[in-house]
Amino acid sequence: MSVSEEIQAFPAPAKLNLDLRITGRRSDGYHNLESIFCLIGLYDTVHLKIRTDGQIILHTPVEGLESEQDLTYRAAKLLLPYASVAHGVEIWLDKVIPTGGGLGGGSSDAATVLMVLNQWWQCGLSRQQLIDLGVSLGADVPFFIFGRSAFAKGVGEKLAEIDVPKQWYVIVKPPVHVATVKIFAHEGLTRDSKPSIMPTFQSLQPFQNDMQAVVFQEYPEVWKAYVELSQYGHALMTGSGACLFIASESHQEAHTIYQQVSQSYEAYCVEGLDIHPLYHMI
């Protein structure tokens, strides 16, 4: 397969946890979760350029983080043993998805690298094989490779399609970075939600997030934003926060809410996606 040696740009969409429940704690210290994942039209852009000398070069490292620790670098390195052509890649990240918000930006960037390089390097891995590799990078990476609205179990690696109606979302980013490890280790975290038997979008209503009560307790900025956003509907936190969202059936309704909350917060008005833009690369 011929691959251009020019820099090419690829989208990495964000996600929301429309519902998130913790059903137990595992013997390895991780938690068993159940969640509805939804892709949204808020994107980082991953710029890639093929190399033929085996080198992986990240041109845009995060301040204070070694390139080798970045998820995109690690994703490329993870695929090296499977490459069947002269390989190597240069990576540039154009970050738009806010970090530390529970929107999965870093995991999405890594998934995009895996999907593109699987094709460029002629690795020949199936979607499930990429998912199995991706879980070693982070619990959200498998979902982005899965590429559709999903009901997730385990640590997020057991995925099944779920129908999510077309919705628009208003997302608010409070001015704080939530430490996920701190929340999972918190004594007050609820870990006993009842597992779902036959989960559907309707059967899980009203949606909840078992992590948000602890986050509200530890991060008053998130609680304050939640109270303000709740004036406009059923607000929820995504992931371990700090971002909060409201779902709307129409763009007009969502945009009206966005105009209000964006006066006080970093905010986004985005559409839900049915499918990952790179889904058909695999």
Q: Which residues are catalytic?
A: 15, 140
Is residue 108 a known part of a binding site?
Answer: yes
Record the tokens describing residue 127, joined without a space. Answer: 């979607």
Is residue 107 a known part of a binding site?
Answer: yes
Is residue 101 a known part of a binding site?
Answer: yes
Is residue 196 a known part of a binding site?
Answer: no
Is residue 103 a known part of a binding site?
Answer: yes
Are the CB atoms for 242 and 215 separated by under 8 Å?
Answer: yes
Q: Using alpha carbons, list the distances in angstroms from residue 172 to 205, 208, 238.
A: 22, 17, 10
Rounded-to-5 percentages of helix, strand, coil across the chain? 30, 30, 40
Is residue 104 a known part of a binding site?
Answer: yes
Report angle CA 21, 26, 31 to the nearest 5 degrees. Answer: 30
Is residue 154 a known part of a binding site?
Answer: no
Q: Using alpha carbons, list the distances in angstroms from residue 240 to 26, 101, 236.
A: 18, 8, 11
Strand ranges inside the chain, DSSP E: 8-25, 31-50, 56-58, 89-94, 150-154, 158-161, 168-173, 236-237, 244-248, 266-273
Is residue 99 a known part of a binding site?
Answer: yes
Is residue 106 a known part of a binding site?
Answer: yes
Please confirm whether the linkage preceding 242 is cis (ω < 30° from 0): yes
Are the CB atoms for 189 and 210 separated by under 8 Å?
Answer: yes
Annotated binding residues for ATP, written as ranges, equal 98-108
**Binding-site annotation: residue ranges:** 98-108
